[in-house]
Amino acid sequence: MKMDLFSEAIKIVLEAGRQLTERKGIDDISEKGPTDYVTAVDVRVQKMIFEKLSQIDPDVQFLGEEKDNEEIDLQGKIWILDPVDGTTNLIHDFQHSVISLAYQEAGEVQFGIVYNPFSREFFSGKKGSGAFLNDRRISVSNVRSLSQSLISIGTAPGCREDADRAFARMRRIYDRCQDIRRVGTAALELAYVACGRLDGFYEGHLHIWDYGAGKLLVEEAGGIVLADQERVFASAPGIAEEFRCIAEEEENVL
C-alpha cells in the first residue's frame, strides 16, 4: 500500500464534506428502489471524490454506491465509497449524514474514514494502528451486560419485506437493554460503537459501502464485528455473546 493514500484520502473527504452541509441540489431526488433514494448531492460527491482519488493512484478500482460495480476484482486494490450514508436524513435535513470511504487490498480493508460534516466529527482508522475521532484515540465501551447497554438497531428500509424480523429483533433487544437508538446511517452508527457512545449495532441487508469503513473502526477500537450479506453485527466485547444470541434468536419471529 502506498503510505500517502491515507492522508490524501483524508484531505479529499474533508473537502467534500461541504457538499453535504450545503445540500445544493437536494430536491433533485430519484428513487433507486422503494424507499431507496439518490440525490444530486450523492452523485456529485461520488464523482468529485473518485476524480480526485484517481489522480493519486489510477490503478485503484472504484466501488461506489451510485455506480455499477459488476466489473470489480474484489481481490484487487479498491476504494469503497458511500458518498452520502444517510441519504434520507440528508433529504430531511436531519443533520446526521456522513461520507464513508474505505481502502481495501486483497479482500481486507486497510483504512477507513467516516466523516460527519454537520458535527465536524472525523473518524478514521488504519489496520493495526487504532481508531481515532479527530485526533483522539477511541475505544469501544467496557460494558459487561446488555442491561447496561445502549444499542442501535437499523430498520433496513430498502428491504421492507424483512420488516417483521427487523422489528421483532428490535423488540427482543429493547426488552433487555437500557434503550434503543436509530440514527439512520449505518456508517455513523458503527463509528459510534467504535467510540463507545453506542454499545452495539445490528442491521440486516447492508452493503459493503455502508459498513466497510465502520467495520474497520470498530475492530481497531477493540470491538467485535460480523459482517456479511445477511447482517452487520457490531459490539463491545463484554456484551457480544449475549447481544448476538438475543439478536439472532429467530424462533421469536412474528
List contacts with ligand IPD (CB under 6 A): 65, 82, 84-87, 154-158, 184-186, 203, 206, 210
Nearer to ligand IPD by Cβ, of 61 and 155: the residue is 155
Alpha carbon 118 to its chain's center: 16
Strands 29-33 and 98-105: unpaired
Tell me how crowded residue 4 is: count the other CB atoms within 10 A of its CB: 10
Nearer to ligand IPD by Cβ, of 100 and 238: the residue is 100
Q: What's the DSSP call for residue 194?
A: H
> H or E segment at 50?
helix 40-56
Give CA–CA dist 253/162, Å, rounded: 11
Q: Which residues pair with 201 in a beta bridge?
A: 152, 234
Alpha carbon 114 to its chain's center: 7
Smallest distance, ligand IPD to C-beta of residue 156, A: 5
Nearer to ligand IPD by Cβ, of 5 and 118: the residue is 118
The residue number with the shortest CB distance to ligand IPD is: 186
Nearer to ligand IPD by Cβ, of 203 and 220: the residue is 203
Smallest distance, ligand IPD to C-beta of residue 106, A: 26
Smallest distance, ligand IPD to C-beta of residue 229, A: 13
Helix or strand or coil: residue 233? Answer: strand
Nearer to ligand IPD by Cβ, of 157 and 222: the residue is 157
Smallest distance, ligand IPD to C-beta of residue 99, A: 10
Smallest distance, ligand IPD to C-beta of residue 30, A: 12
